[in-house]
Structure 1
Amino acid sequence: MNKLKIFNDPIYGFITIPNALIFDLIQHKYFQRLRRITQMGMSYLVYPGAHHTRFHHAIGCVHLMKQAVNVLRFKGVTISEDEENALYVAILLHDIGHGPFSHAMEHTIVKGLSHEQISLLFMEQLNKEFNSSLTLAIEIFKATYPKKFMCQLVSGQLDMDRADYLKRDSFYTGVAEGNISSERLVTMLNVVNDSLVVEEKGIYSVEKFLNARRFMYWQVYLHKTGIVAEQLLIRVLKRAKELKNSGVELESSYALNYFLDHNIALEDFNEDIVKLFSELDDFDIISAMKQWQHHTDFVLSNLCKMIINRDLLKIKVKTKKINKDRLQKHLQKLITTHHITKKEAEYFVFMGTISNQAYMPKTQNINILHKSGKIEDIAEASDLFNLKALSKPVTKYYICYPKEKL
């Protein structure tokens, strides 16, 4: 009984821990680390309230999964006790592999590794510690479990992950347009032919969900200031790695120092590397940048000062491709003013693209179950004219360069 604790969550109110295994996983140091990983990376530089963590989010996902299991069972869907527990474990640990500041670290601290791959490594390690009690959860997480709808609850167009983060991120940023009725969406779920469907009366909730997702991506997740801050952070680590490789000493935590010194790829991850990665969090990066802003290296010190003092690069976002002449002009100006090399100037002057697709019908569509028993894609079932437009990817182009003075 002592392990069935209650969390007071600002989004859903009181959340109970479903069983002792979930409690023990939450208590594990690998999961407690998520208290030190910001859910929205550098977005707090735009939305001051966005300081909530991956820990908050994972607990919220378990709450929604509990509701989904109850709803589906009530509607006659067979979910065994083992499958129920596996669903809770899979959704609890789905983000455990996130590095510091969430997505910014994915291709800098480790080489070409996504957080999903690292999450799987953590889950396999925990499975050894917990006497193989996570085996079924790992199958669901990898989408290899025969019951397809269970895999969709963990990772799909209408999964518990998205149902929580949209509502939670909207709350903490104060962006009301992103607020969705997660609980109503979950209540409308059903299973037909082993696939998740939404009952017809939930069609407007799905429309709101897709519109909210589009809005949150353009206004929050892909906000231009957030983009430039994240790019600067990526460049800080890239420069630090470059300096370390050329023999320059840099002060940082033991864990961060190790990942800067070594190029770690998927095949390099063993028990010790997983343990070392678990020691990395936002605080390692922040404290390193506070040290590095005083470094003699022009590039590293200026990049760190920009983030620490929120004095970022200018960013222009366009719907059409940006002329490369503009890039060259800004590069040349920086090289001349500060007497630096082209390679150094490219840390401060660069172009890129951002894209968003609110609904991806080709990968995994959202099906509406009509009262007649007919199943139809949301884009066809909805009378909202813009839903088909949401199915098309939208790409924008940006250029970043320094303000008048570095």
Structure 2
Amino acid sequence: MSTNTNKLKILNDPVYGFITTPNSLIFDIIEHPYFQRLRRVTQMGLSNLVYPGANHTRFHHAIGCMHLMEKAVQVLRTKKVLISTDEATALYLAILLHDIGHGAFSHALENSIVDHISHEEISLKFMHVLNKEFEGKLNLAIEIFTGKYHRKFFNQLISSQLDIDRLDYLKRDSFYTGVTEGNISSDRIIAMMHVKNDELVIEHKGIYSVENFIIARRLMYWQVYLHKTSLVAESMLVGILKRAKELAKKGVELPATKPLYYFLYNQISKENFTDQTLDIFSKLDDYDVLSAIKEWTNHQDKVLSKLSQMLMNRNLLKIEIQDTAFTKGYQQKIIDKIQNKLQLSKTDLSYFIFTDSVSNQAYNTQKPIKILTKKQELKELAKASDQLNLQTLTKPVIKYYFCYPKKLILD
């Protein structure tokens, strides 16, 4: 790269307007192939099957988070919170890279591609490799990301109930889906941030904005992230990858790009997730998965081909959702009816008929948001709030869903 390259680029973001890269190190990280991959990983999985505008990527989100972190640093500095240039850069790097470990289609395939290794763990692996490449310039960012830095509020900015990550994704996802209930005032919340006893707190004037944030998050989960059509589509996507891996295990040949082929034909877990594996993972994105599914629509395996056809054509399974678990009797009645018609084995049938549950907790009192009162005392949000009974939002809400074919699907 030429030494004359202008590294203080301006990006035009539809949510915040112009975003400037803070320094040349940040620019070089953004330019890195590991980070550029995020342009090819959708932020919201298959939510675009419900909200056609939801096609934004992890790249959009990460850049937005960096922008909001800059604002937070500026606000805290004006309130006499000392943050050095190195600490500020480390915060930008940590938030920029917090999602770099997401696999194709984000959360939908978290346990389908690799076994029992979270995207946070993969993010950390990426950060360590980048740190070597950039000669230790990410040391402080890694300390903050892992919560090992002595100033604890830095980690709260990255990961807490009112972190920069949530402030961006709620506003961004609301914008791209058109679900206005999620449109929080991230600027207002950031303007109300302060630090007391090394804790990230919100000044009392910001309490209504925080209440609105909690409500918006709850509504976005039920209306968008856990929308029943998204649930059934993502379950089918997981089923497709599960079937493909089963066939791969039996030695059945499956058309796939090299990165996807590697993860289909190798059992990857924490124990054998090497730097070489990471490099292959860095080349795997939504395009690999979608192109494979298009190919698999014509595969000789009936289950794989039918699931692939259904997903590609948005001919999804029927989904019922309710507050109580579906009785065994009700499930068996539908299973018997379909099994008699389709003559499928129990294993094959489980790809088309299944039940599961989802849970949403709007506010977790175990990791409380602290409000700084006029008397400079700290109060937990649920106790400081006078307008809203937040206690009702602290209980996890569980919903159960049951999926099965709308009609005969293997004719």
Same fold (TM over 0.5): yes
Shift of 1:179: 0.2
Say whether residues 1:57 and 2:50 are aligned partners: no
Q: Which residue of 1 aligns with 2:396?
A: 393
Say whether residues 1:203 and 2:207 are aligned partners: yes
Shift of 1:326: 2.1
DSSP 3-state at the match of 1:128: helix
Alpha-carbon distance in structure 2 between the residues aligned to 1:345 and 1:287: 25
Q: Which residue of 1 aligns with 2:382?
A: 379
Alpha-carbon distance in structure 2 between the residues aligned to 1:217 and 1:376: 27
Number of residue pairs matched by the alignment: 405
Aligned partners of 2:211 and 2:388 also within 8 Å = no
Normalised by the length of structure 2, the TM-score is: 0.97
Deviation track 1:133-156 (CA, whole Å, cap 9, x = no partner) reads 111101111111111100000011
DSSP 3-state at the match of 2:111: coil
Shift of 1:375: 1.1
Aligned partners of 1:35 and 1:54 also within 8 Å = yes
Say whether residues 1:162 and 2:166 are aligned partners: yes
Shift of 1:384: 2.7
Runs of 4+ off more than 3 Å:
none
Alignment of 1:185-334 (within 5 A): 185-334=189-338
Alpha-carbon distance in structure 1 between the residues aligned to 2:126 and 2:190: 28
More displaced stretch, 24-33 vs 136-145: 136-145
Alpha-carbon distance in structure 1 between the residues aligned to 2:250 and 2:336: 26
Aligned partners of 2:43 and 2:56 also within 8 Å = yes
Shift of 1:285: 0.7
Alpha-carbon distance in structure 2 between the residues aligned to 1:361 and 1:4: 41
DSSP 3-state at the match of 1:31: helix
Shift of 1:163: 0.3
Q: Which residue of 2 aligns with 1:368?
A: 371
Quote the RMSD (CA, aligned, Å): 0.9
Normalised by the length of structure 1, the TM-score is: 0.99
Alpha-carbon distance in structure 2 between the residues aligned to 1:180 and 1:13: 16
DSSP 3-state at the match of 2:341: helix
Code of the aligned partner of 1:53: T
Q: Which residue of 2 aligns with 1:44?
A: 48
DSSP 3-state at the match of 1:89: helix
Code of the aligned partner of 1:386: N
Q: Percent identity?
A: 59
Code of the aligned partner of 1:365: P
Shift of 1:298: 1.3
Shift of 1:331: 2.2
Shift of 1:323: 0.4
Say whether residues 1:404 and 2:402 are aligned partners: no
Aligned partners of 2:171 and 2:186 also within 8 Å = yes
Code of the aligned partner of 1:154: I
Deviation track 1:88-128 (CA, whole Å, cap 9, x = no partner) reads 00000000000000001111100011110110111111111
Q: Which runs of 5+ in 2 are unaligned?
A: none
Aligned partners of 2:342 and 2:408 also within 8 Å = no
Q: Which residue of 1 aligns with 2:98?
A: 94
